[in-house]
Chains A and B, each alone.
Chain A
């Protein structure tokens, strides 16, 4: 009797293979997008379209030395290459002594700061080709100059140092995206309740429960459990299927799971409050969309909060999505965070959950 609502809905979920399939398949499909976000953030890749083997060897050798991945693109496929592209036409025989005969260009693709930096390097590589072409008169002379360039040691070296966790950026953006995915999955589950409300199933269940609060506690507990299972499934897929080094200590991992569980409790509670406002599916969908998308957009789930204007960042501070994305930043940072930075989002989520439950428990039974 005490867990009757929990068990009833759990049974309904397990009895519907389609719902179960969606609960398992959707996180797995969506985690691919998350992993792509991870891979896009870590890879420096250039498309190389240089038909002449001498020039191709030179360009690719420079990219290899810089640790930049490269793909080879045929001349005919240049128009279909995406990302940063370097294209060089001409042969040593044609350009030796005639650097203007070197037909080269660098396309930045979709411009980003990294694309600009890569393009700067490629511009210099092509400029070097043109310079050496201008200082030689024969194909053999140009080839020898290129060999001498390759053999010469770099006059300046660089070393890099990362302060904190080198994986932070990619893991933070990946887990921020998971916040969005979880919000989508959770809010979609909410629409199931509209049907129950229309069919008066909810009213009949309510009669059998001790109170509205008990009903909501059991319902939210079940869907939070499903959401945590989906979250763990996504993290497991990231770790063992896509080999993303999540690298969290057990303590921080537990904190993350707790935060996502609380976030889902809040999301489900907000959804149930929205559902209580209407009996129409069309209005329910509108309300859910009107809450989900802005919460994800403003809460840092889709892009970093820091790129938004200050007033929007201030507005975002009241959103639970922001609390979780900020916790992601803290947990994946390589620095030791102040305890308050870890406790604050959990505390806020907990308090909000209590407020929402209070609001839910006071709903008149006909609106539940």
Chain B
């Protein structure tokens, strides 16, 4: 068996296209992701591709103590990066140029209206490309009236000063969304790692088809090696290949872009190993099956990116039940739990191992039939 594993590995590692697949593809994906999303990969930002601070242009047409207090409170909120503009025209110019996300116009007479108890209206404007930010900014701006309203609600002539608390915690990972709060590069390292491992399924499928289509397959089957050993050797060589690819992805992401994959490399390695074994066993099975079912290959080629897409691998999407149907979700979720420090849930991984065992035995039976034919 060792001889077959070594022979397979040698043939893979000396094949230029396979070697490209092993090293260049994972590196390409990580380097593109790392550079493309570099602006969102600071230590404080997270998997969302949006930055976390809204750039707010302010045109203060009143310049009263009240309006200045409003602008100061917005700047102090931590949600806005405030930029002052002298006129509506310059403010709109900044909006059109993309210098600010939202423009707030404080109307003339704001201070006196506030003092009179006549609610002034602050106008918020945004381009159509920032419509969601505009809605959220309007919600956040509602806070400016809270202090006065709360002080009035005390019913006292001299109410105590109103202070904002600090109840906000950033991105608490939960068992349902263990990816919440992980950095962008970590998020994409995990999803790309699973994608690359999943591509191992397709690679093994093709490798097996090519091995058993030619005279090499005949020689294997004519050799005294048992079918179980023969099948195990394919799985071991495929798993080793996947492990090398996984190592390239993780190594590049950690070394070049500071991805954080948690504190237990052993747990990460165990999850990667289970994924690699499952995908390679499935690849072996489908490769044997695909010899008489040519439609399997394009289907698998399509399903790999589709499952990654639905599993939130390319864009962080919660596709609900569809996500649960993807095999990516099982391993992404396990890795995100580890990254976020949530206790590992081994049951889905053990199920995957059991499934691998069953498919492995089925493959052995199929190889024996191939031999008989």
Residues of A with Cβ closer than 8 Å to B? 16, 18-19, 22, 26, 29-30, 32-33, 36-37, 40-42, 44, 62, 65-68, 78-83, 85, 104-128, 130-132, 134-136, 145-146, 148-149, 152-170, 172, 177, 180-181, 184-185, 188-189, 191-192, 195, 278, 280-283, 285-286, 288-290, 292-294, 296-298, 302-304, 306-309, 312, 329, 333-335
Contacts and interface: CB of A to CB of B under 8 A. Distances in A.
Interface in B1-49: 17-18, 20-21, 24-25, 28-29, 32-33, 35-40, 45-49
B46 A107 contact: no
The 5 closest A-B pairs by CB, nearest first: A164-B128, A282-B206, A112-B48, A168-B128, A124-B143
24 contacts: A40-B318, A42-B132, A44-B135, A65-B142, A66-B142, A80-B174, A81-B174, A106-B167, A113-B48, A113-B53, A118-B136, A118-B139, A120-B77, A127-B146, A128-B146, A149-B150, A155-B145, A158-B123, A164-B129, A166-B128, A180-B309, A185-B302, A289-B199, A307-B36
Contact of B139 (A68, A136, A185, A304): A68
A118 B140 contact: yes
B72 interface: no
A352 B70 CA distance: 54
B322 A112 contact: no
A158 B168 CA distance: 24
B305 A110 contact: no
A108 B168 contact: yes
Contact of A22 (B52, B179, B302): B302
B358 interface: no
B185 interface: no
B54 A105 contact: no
Given A110-B180, A298-B36, A153 B119 contact: yes
A29 B310 contact: yes
A167 B130 CA distance: 10
B36 A110 contact: no
B171 A109 contact: yes
B78 interface: yes
A161 B88 CA distance: 13
Contacts of B39: 307-309
Contacts of B54: 113, 116-117
A121 B145 contact: no
B370 interface: no
Interface of B: 17-18, 20-21, 24-25, 28-29, 32-33, 35-40, 45-54, 70, 77-79, 92, 95, 98, 101, 114, 117, 119-146, 148-150, 152-156, 159-160, 162-172, 174-177, 179-181, 199, 202-203, 206-207, 209-210, 294-295, 297-299, 301-302, 305-306, 309-310, 314-320, 322
B58 to A, nearest CB: 13
A80 B134 contact: no
Contacts of A145: 153-155
Given A33-B309, A113-B136, A289-B25, A333 B295 contact: no
Contacts of B156: 135
A114 B297 contact: no
A123 B165 contact: yes
A191 B299 CA distance: 10
Contacts of A16: 295
Contacts of A191: 297-298, 301
A155 B160 contact: no
B317 A157 contact: no
Nearest to A16: B295
Given A110-B179, A155-B145, A298-B32, A307 B40 contact: yes
Nearest to B300: A285
Nearest to B203: A282
Contacts of A115: 48, 52
Contacts of A281: 206, 209, 297
Secondary structure type dominating chain A contacts: helix
A302 B315 contact: yes
Given A108-B171, A163-B125, A192-B298, A294 B32 contact: yes
A297 B46 contact: no
A132 B159 CA distance: 10
Given A168-B129, A281-B297, A123 B32 contact: no
A329 B125 CA distance: 19
Given A33-B317, A162-B126, A289-B199, A111 B170 contact: yes
Nearest to A168: B128
A292 B295 CA distance: 21
Contacts of B130: 169
Contact of B17 (A153, A180, A283, A294): A283
Contacts of B166: 123
Nearest to A292: B305
Contact of A169 (B48, B49, B120, B128): B128
Nearest to B172: A107
Nearest to B77: A120
B183 to A, nearest CB: 10
A180 B308 CA distance: 12
A193 B95 CA distance: 50
Contacts of B309: 30, 33, 180-181, 184
B136 A29 contact: no
A273 B361 CA distance: 40
A27 to B, nearest CB: 11
Contact of A116 (B52, B165, B207, B209): B52
A203 B277 CA distance: 39
A79 B174 contact: yes
A286 B131 contact: no
A278 B210 CA distance: 14
B154 A160 contact: no
B167 A104 contact: yes
A26 B302 contact: yes
Nearest to B102: A160
Contact of B315 (A37, A66, A160): A37
A334 B131 CA distance: 12
A44 to B, nearest CB: 6
Contact of A293 (B29, B138, B155, B163): B29
Nearest to B149: A152
Contacts of B209: 281
A307 B129 CA distance: 14
B341 to A, nearest CB: 13
A107 B136 contact: no
Contact of A159 (B25, B124, B177, B320): B124
Contact of B132 (A41, A116, A126, A184): A41
Given A156-B120, A195-B294, A286-B25, A44 B50 contact: no
